[in-house]
Amino acid sequence: MSVDRKVSSTGSASRGKERTLSDQVYEEILAMISSGKTPVGAKLPTEHALSETLKVSRPVLRQALKQLREDGVVVSRQGSGSFVQRRPETAVLKFAPVGSIADIQRTFEFRAAVEGEAAFLAAERRSDADLKHMSVQLKELDRCIREGELGVDLDENFHERICIASGNQYFATARTSMKSNILTGLSLTRNLSLTKPRERMELVQREHYLIFEAIKNMDQEGARIAMRDHVENAKNRVFQG
C-alpha cells in the first residue's frame, strides 16, 4: 500500500483529509463503472485489490464504497463482495467539476432535510406576494423548457423564495452558506436533463408545480413530502443512466 495517501483516523484534520480522499476514490470508482470497464452486474475487485490499485488505505476505500452503496451505484452481497447495480452516464463526469460528485450527492441530502421543513412552514406562512414570486419563477422555467435553456438561476430562485416564505430567515441563511454547492448540483442535474428528451425536464417542472400547489393550498405535510421527493429524485437522477 502506498504510504503517501494513507490517512490517520485520529484528529479532526485527519478525518477531513480522509473524507476528501474517500470522495476522490468514490469518483475514481465511479469513472471505472461509467466507462464500462466494470459493467452492471459485475463484481468489483476485492477491497485489497482496489486499495492497492487506487493506492489508498482500506478505511478510505470502505468510506467510498459506503457512499456508492448509499447512492445506489453498487450493492454489497454478504460474503460475495460489491457488485455494480447502476451505471452512471459519462455525461455525469463531463458536467460535474472534478472531485465534486460525492459532495453534490451529500448536498442533496442536506437540501432534502432543510428545504422539506422550509416548504412545510411556507405552506402555513406564505403571503400572496410570496406566491406571486414563486409563480413568476415557474413561468420563466416553463419558457426555458420550451426554448431549451438551462434555467439554473431560475430553479435556484424558486427554491430560495420558498425558504423566504417560511418566515424563518435561518432556512435562507443555511442555503446561502451552501449556495455554491447547490448551484453546482443544479447545473449538473439540469445539464443532464437537457441531454434527455424534453419529457425529463417537464417531469422536473411537474415536481416544482406539486410543491407550489401544496404551498398555495396551505397543505403543510403535502408541501414537505413534495419538496423532499423532488430533491431526492434530483439526487437519484444524477445516476439514472
Q: What is the pLDDT of residues 66-83, one digit of tens each?
A: 999 998 899 999 888 999
- Answer yes or no: do 97 and 125 share one domain: yes
> According to the model, what pLDDT value does residue 157 have?
97
The domain boundary, picked from 56, 87, 118, lies at 87
> According to the model, what pLDDT value does residue 18 have?
53
Task: Give the closest residue to 175 by CA, choosing from 187, 188, 163.
Answer: 163
Structural domain boundaries enclosing 107: 92-237
Task: Give the closest residue to 223 by CA, choosing from 73, 100, 122, 103.
Answer: 122
> According to the model, what pLDDT value does residue 36 have?
86
- Answer yes or no: do 11 and 100 share one domain: no
- Answer yes or no: do 80 and 174 share one domain: no
Q: What is the number of structural domains in the chain?
A: 2
Lowest mean pLDDT among 20-24, 63-67, 185-189: 20-24
- Answer yes or no: do 180 and 75 share one domain: no
- Answer yes or no: do 76 and 184 share one domain: no
- Answer yes or no: do 56 and 171 share one domain: no
The mean of the pLDDT values for the chain is: 89
> According to the model, what pLDDT value does residue 241 have?
57
**The C-alpha cell of 175 is what?**
442555503
Percent of the chain with pLDDT over 70: 91
Q: Cβ contacts of residue 164 below 8 Å, gap of 6+? A: 130, 172
CATH code of the domain in which 209 resides = 1.20.120.530
pLDDT digits 0-9 by tens, 131-151: 999 999 999 999 999 999 999
pLDDT digits 0-9 by tens, 90-111: 888 888 886 788 889 999 999 9
- Answer yes or no: do 107 and 25 share one domain: no
- Answer yes or no: do 80 and 135 share one domain: no
- Answer yes or no: do 207 and 157 share one domain: yes
CA Rg value for the chain? 20
- Answer yes or no: do 101 and 199 share one domain: yes
List the alpha helices (DSSP H) in the chain: 12-34, 47-54, 58-70, 90-95, 101-125, 128-147, 152-165, 169-177, 179-194, 198-216, 220-237
